[in-house]
Structure 1
Amino acid sequence: MLSFAMHARADESHAYKEPPAVTMQTLEKWIGELSNWGRWGKNDELGTLNLITPEKRLAAAALVKDGTTVSASRVVSKEPDPLSGQVSFHHTLTKLLHGGGDFALDNYEISYHGWAHSHIDSLAHMFWKNKMYNGYSRDEVITTDPENPEQVAGARKLGIQVMRDGIMSRAVLVDIPRLKGVDYLEPGTAVTIEDLETWEKKAGVKVRPGDILLLRVGLLAYHKATGDVTNPRRSGLHVSTVKWLKERGVAVLGCDANSDVIPSGMEGFDHPVHVLALHSLGLPIMDNLDLSRLSQVAAEKGRWEFMMTIAPLAITGGTGSPVNAMAVF
């Protein structure tokens, strides 16, 4: 079991330190330096999912010891998004007589990008200077045109359907509030490379190529403790950590917020982690997870690595998908 606990006194060495300033010039430099474009061929659409090899999956399966499963995703909310005020999930249900019995039928309509729902971003979700990952043009993403209903909308490259075989690999949970002896990080707190590596040492794990990295910042715990659900500030990764993600070979990034610290420290630019991850590295991102129960189970078992499965909907041309990510111990 770990020697540190959720409510332990925060060690002085883990006191918040101001992360390095990053300019647009630095971001532009990193977009080029960290690029995985062409690494797996000029026609590649999988990006860092290429790092999850059959051998990696077999090693992940070997981590299953007692068969305990824990979802890392939120229960779908039918309430208005607290930031936008818009209802992003509509559920209609009818009960119809069919054949020899009654069947309940329902329809779902969901706007999953945003702050409300657990989802995974495909590599078609982010553009930079009119390009997507691997140099594909943003013109490959066709928006719905009411005046041209026959036109097929969607991403002709990098759509979520490329993940239709699912994602299964070793996952590592990085619980920064637990590291710092608090229930949650204050909004706007940036997680640094030092934080990530300190967690590795304390938890006795190391992030390796092909891993799914889950970052807990305690956003839902913050909401529960304060009732402040409309605060646009978010704790998350400082943009400088993306260099570390590339070096470690992270295959999928997930967070119980949206991975980027907001404000990012870059004036007028709030999602530099998303830009570098999706556009440059080809690294899929899961947003709005619920890692609270997973953290509790991991702490009880003293295990911060486990097998994880992710099964996005195979929607042709989708820029992402609602998702239920499952940890298996």
Structure 2
Amino acid sequence: MAPNIPKFSDLPLDKKGPHHNAWGLYGKDDELGTLNRLSDSIVKAAADEITTGVRINIDWPLDAQGDLPFFGRQQFHKEVYQKAPRIVNDDVWTFNTQSSSQWDGLRHFAYQKEAKFYNGLTLDDIHGTNGVEKTDLLGIGAVAAQGGICGRGILLDYHEWRIKQGRAHDAFDTASISVEDLKAVAASQGTEIKFGDILIIRSGYMHAYNQLSRAQIEALRQKTPLRFTGIEQSEDMIQFLWENFSAAAGDHPSLEAWPTQKEYALHEILLAGWGMPIGELFDLEKLGAHCKEVGKWSFFLVSQPTYVPGGVASPPNAVAIF
């Protein structure tokens, strides 16, 4: 059993709150959720993963989706201008924090039926509406302020594994990756899962996306709802995530199978229930190739979200170090 956390069977901790919540575990004003698992000792131990000094960026370019981002999000704009008469340039960037690689922060997705974010925060608290004082609580800036998301990362290369299994795969259809699958991937790689790990799953989305034409992307964007293969919504998956990880990320737009196959979404439980950041659209192609080459799928992960008090999400600025 993982140290210093309640048993999965103890959830929900706040019996008056939504299902599976861990509200109050780190105090009513906590802003870090499962990132509290990344103690100094766990981060220090993770530094043992660094043996060669090889560094691999896992951010997708901010403009990677051009003018065709999914979910109707705004595209990235960059304006470079000269500060005449000097030979000096400045630039201005405008973008939706969810239109490329991102960490979903704790203000992103609430329990939908209860309309509550982590530890019971409400839309009124975030927007300062209905006579409630506006707060920056649970902003992505809180993660940046405490030094970001640093620790032992593990890549579970489902895409590589399922090819060896001869499994068909459509990144743009709703299908579920099970806990059994993920454990089989770890076993095939010889990857030990340790408490506090930052889970990163290569589903094969980027590999598929990179082969699409503009016309194909335009057609996919018109689907209602959008459909993606991701991790399953199940008690087994929820328990697997709760007992092992400090954060979870993947290479596609929703991490979980989309749309959800249950009456709840994992986004509700991870973000609003536990305060577990969700990473999406990470570019894992170079990372997967390097892991395969060296036979090692664990590394030291450094990710420093942008320091924006009250922000909803952020580019991860993430590097895997071997």
- Please give the range of the TM-score, normalised by the shorter of the 2 chains: 0.7 to 0.9
Secondary structure in 1 matching 2:80: strand
Counterpart of 2:154 in structure 1 is 172
After TM superposition, the score normalised by the length of structure 1 is 0.80
Secondary structure in 1 matching 2:42: helix
Residue 328 of structure 1 deviates from its aligned partner by: 0.3
For 2:25 and 2:299, the matched residues in 1 are separated by: 28
Residue 33 of structure 1 deviates from its aligned partner by: 5.3
* Residues 87 and 39 of structure 1: CA distance in aligned 2, closer, same or farther (over 3 Å): closer
Matched, 1:298 2:296: no
Given that 2:22 and 2:274 are in contact with CA atoms closer than 8 Å, whether structure 1 keeps it comes out as yes
- Given candidates 127, 132, 140, the residue that maps to 2:110 is 127
* Residues 138 and 80 of structure 1: CA distance in aligned 2, closer, same or farther (over 3 Å): same
Secondary structure in 2 matching 1:327: strand
Matched, 1:309 2:302: yes
Letter in 1 for 2:21: S
Letter in 1 for 2:184: T
Residue 220 of structure 1 deviates from its aligned partner by: 1.6
Residue 209 of structure 1 deviates from its aligned partner by: 1.9
Matched, 1:214 2:194: no
Counterpart of 1:236 in structure 2 is 230
Runs of 4+ in structure 1 displaced over 6 angstroms?
A: none
Given that 1:34 and 1:246 are in contact with CA atoms closer than 8 Å, whether structure 2 keeps it comes out as no
Given that 1:183 and 1:218 are in contact with CA atoms closer than 8 Å, whether structure 2 keeps it comes out as no
CA deviation profile, 1:1-52 (whole Å, cap 9, x unmatched): xxxxxxxxxxxxxxxxxxxxxxxxxxxx9x8553221111222111000000
Residue 130 of structure 1 deviates from its aligned partner by: 2.2
CA deviation profile, 1:272-323 (whole Å, cap 9, x unmatched): 0111110112100111111111100111111100000111111011011122
Counterpart of 1:58 in structure 2 is 44
For 1:77 and 1:316, the matched residues in 2 are separated by: 24
Counterpart of 1:110 in structure 2 is 95
Counterpart of 2:248 in structure 1 is 253
Counterpart of 2:142 in structure 1 is 162
Letter in 1 for 2:80: L
Which deviates the most, 223-232 or 33-42? 223-232
Given that 2:125 and 2:133 are in contact with CA atoms closer than 8 Å, whether structure 1 keeps it comes out as no
Q: How does 1:1-329 map to 2 (within 5 A)?
A: 32=18, 34-77=20-63, 79-83=66-70, 87-97=74-84, 102-113=87-98, 116-128=99-111, 129-142=114-127, 156-164=136-144, 165-181=147-163, 185-186=169-170, 187-227=173-213, 228-229=216-217, 230-231=219-220, 232-240=226-234, 241-248=237-244, 250-257=245-252, 258-266=254-262, 272-329=265-322
Given that 1:185 and 1:217 are in contact with CA atoms closer than 8 Å, whether structure 2 keeps it comes out as no
For 1:316 and 1:255, the matched residues in 2 are separated by: 25
Residue 97 of structure 1 deviates from its aligned partner by: 3.7
% of aligned pairs identical? Answer: 27
Counterpart of 2:5 in structure 1 is none
Letter in 2 for 1:124: R
For 2:314 and 2:67, the matched residues in 1 are separated by: 19
* Residues 118 and 213 of structure 1: CA distance in aligned 2, closer, same or farther (over 3 Å): same
Counterpart of 2:4 in structure 1 is none
For 2:100 and 2:162, the matched residues in 1 are separated by: 27
For 2:194 and 2:121, the matched residues in 1 are separated by: 28
CA deviation profile, 1:245-274 (whole Å, cap 9, x unmatched): 0022x11111101201113223xx6x7011
* Residues 84 and 160 of structure 1: CA distance in aligned 2, closer, same or farther (over 3 Å): closer
* Residues 197 and 89 of structure 1: CA distance in aligned 2, closer, same or farther (over 3 Å): same
List gaps (5 residues or longer) in structure 1.
1-28, 145-150
Given that 1:184 and 1:221 are in contact with CA atoms closer than 8 Å, whether structure 2 keeps it comes out as no
Letter in 2 for 1:252: A
CA deviation profile, 1:121-178 (whole Å, cap 9, x unmatched): 111111221211112233211179xxxxxx997x521001111221110001011111
Root-mean-square deviation over aligned CA pairs: 2.5
After TM superposition, the score normalised by the length of structure 2 is 0.82
* Residues 203 and 50 of structure 1: CA distance in aligned 2, closer, same or farther (over 3 Å): same
Secondary structure in 2 matching 1:102: coil
Equivalent residues, number: 285
